[in-house]
Amino acid sequence: MTTIAYKDGVIAYDSQITRGDVIVYDDYEKCLTRDGVRFFCSGATPDFPVLVDVYFGAKPAGPVDVTAMVLDGESLMLVAIDNDTGLWKSPIMRDRPYAIGSGTPFAFAAMDMGASAEKAVEMAARRDTGTGGKIRTLRIGELVG
């Protein structure tokens, strides 16, 4: 799937895309941007733009298998679509580490031991077969002032 980690104002995420047991891409950009809102996506790649559309008011045509860490202005949140209730948003406390995706337990453990968000994704990639490829980072403070 993926690993997306947040710590100390930095979001780090991997770039590996798999289909079953096959690595399809190891340099895929998992951050989508629309109208200044950034979506760091984990889940089914074809559903990434669907989540973005639903965030901006579209209705999903069916089940959507994606979760995203979303940066909208000053707000950092977890966003997903529940098949019964629709879009939901849960705030992420910016003074604490956070992670989503298949490498979550590894990333949290690494950050608990003092690793940065980037190092946490790197460590998750060592143990999680759904995480890998190029690790990208984004410093939130540079975007929101």
Looking at residue 145, its pLDDT comes to 43
Token output for 37:
């809102």
Q: Among the CATH numbers 2.60.40.10, 3.40.640.10, 1.10.1740.10, 3.60.20.10, which is that of 3-137?
A: 3.60.20.10
Looking at residue 143, its pLDDT comes to 56
DSSP 16: -
Closest CA to 123 of 14, 25, 22, 29: 14
117-127 helix and 104-112 helix, angle to the nearest 10 degrees: 130
Q: How confident is the model at residue 142 (pLDDT cuts 50, 70, 90)?
A: low
Classify burial at 9, counting beta carbons within 10 Å of its beta carbon; exposed 0-12, middle 13-18, buried 19 or more. middle
- Could you read off the pLDDT of 67-101 as tens digits, one per residue? 999 999 999 999 999 888 889 999 999 999 999 99
Q: Map out the domains of the chain as residue ranges.
A: 3-137
- Could you read off the pLDDT of 13-71 as tens digits, one per residue? 999 999 988 999 999 999 999 999 999 999 999 999 999 999 999 999 889 999 999 99
